[in-house]
Homo-oligomer: A and B are copies of this chain.
Amino acid sequence: MVIRRCLTLFVICYLNILMLASIVSANGELFDEGLSDPLPSWKDGLVKDAIINFVANTTNESHTNYVAPEERIATFDNDGTLLCELPDVVQVSFMLDRIREMAPEHAEWNDMEPFSSILSGDRFNSANFSLNETIQIYIATSANLTSDQYISLAKDWLNKSQHPRFGQPYTKCVYKPMLELLGYLRSEGFKVYIVTGGDEDFVRSFSDEIYGIPPEQVIGSALRVQFVEDNHNVSVVKLPQILVFDDGQEKVKEIVQNIGLKSIFAYGNSDGDIPMLQYATSDNRHGLGLLNHHDDPIREYAYDRQLAMGKLDKGLDMAGEWDWQVVSMKDDWKEIWA
């Protein structure tokens, strides 16, 4: 038995050496790091340099900006940062479809705004609703469900969904350079979180599959929940009440309370992400802040200061003073879609 195992080991070593030798002959060099570009969809330039320098310094034990692996926390917004958010935020499209689907059981909605004008087709986009109305729709479509039930509905809908312009499921409308960046940070020991204004269960329904980000690294908006015990079955059910609307300063409060570590990298695309960027880049900790600037109407969309939801206005003005990178999706990205 022992002799057979030793023999197997010898054979494995021999095969390894053969394989490595063939790699050597193909590449000429072996084990040299830094030869392959970790961000191939990013054009060379100031933004890419800033990212690569930040990672190089943070992970270099002899650099003054070195950060231990367990403290390398990176936070990303979702809509508009990782995923296309026009012509509408994906979750809003889901919610409006759910209102239409639930309508037969809610005769009262025919005379009740904002539901009646969704059902009549007069209002069909985030831009048509006030924040309060959006929250009303959010509550109506999420309450009285467990997380499992909600996630299952979201998954079913996402599987059927199609982006009206790109003809792909919404979950395919993710930015290739951003997926590369998530992978690059992870490979350098960063723990990557999503910190989103969207419902955390909605984002959890696809974050692991699409971004490789597990549920416990998704922080987002949520309804209050209730513990329900029914004959030895225990479940937790969403109540018709907002627990947290995870935008603006709320994002930072959630990072502090959920992670318990200071983030040193923050990436967003709207004014709602400003506090998250401030938190990662203040305090002389040499953090990095970035904002996607949607300036590519050909390959995606062009919008910033005028938009109601996802507006990037103050962020553009603050970027210089705070030393944040404004990423031109037109000029800094070779490719846009994954």
Interface positions of A (Cβ within 8 A of B)? 1-2, 5-6, 9-10, 13, 16-17, 20-21, 24-25, 28-31, 70, 147, 191, 200-201, 204, 208, 214-216, 218, 222, 225-227, 229, 232-236, 243, 249, 252-253, 256-261, 275, 278-279, 282-283, 322
Contact sample, A vs B, 23 pairs, CB 8 Å cutoff: A2-B24, A2-B25, A2-B28, A2-B30, A6-B21, A9-B16, A9-B20, A13-B17, A70-B214, A147-B260, A200-B257, A215-B261, A216-B260, A222-B257, A227-B249, A227-B275, A232-B282, A233-B283, A234-B275, A234-B279, A236-B252, A236-B256, A236-B279
Residue from the list B2, B234, B236, B253 in contact with A236, Cβ < 8 A = B253
> Please, which residues of chain B bring their CB within 8 A of the CB of A283?
233-235
* CB atoms of A204 and B282 under 8 A apart: no
> Please, which residues of chain B bring their CB within 8 A of the CB of A21?
6
> Please, which residues of chain B bring their CB within 8 A of the CB of A215?
259-261
* CB atoms of B24 and A17 under 8 A apart: no
* CB atoms of B275 and A252 under 8 A apart: no
- Distance in angstroms between the alpha carbons of A261 and B260 in the assembled complex: 19
**Known contacts A147-B260, A249-B227; is-contact A17 B10 (Cβ 8 Å):** yes
* CB atoms of B9 and A17 under 8 A apart: yes
| Shortest 5 CB-CB contacts between residues of A and residues of B | A215-B260, A227-B249, A13-B13, A234-B282, A236-B256
Residue from the list B16, B29, B256 in contact with A147, Cβ < 8 A = B256
**Known contacts A6-B20, A253-B227, A275-B227; is-contact A258 B260 (Cβ 8 Å):** no
- Distance in angstroms between the alpha carbons of A21 and B3 in the assembled complex: 9
* CB atoms of A200 and B260 under 8 A apart: yes
> Please, which residues of chain B bring their CB within 8 A of the CB of A229?
275, 278
* CB atoms of A216 and B261 under 8 A apart: yes
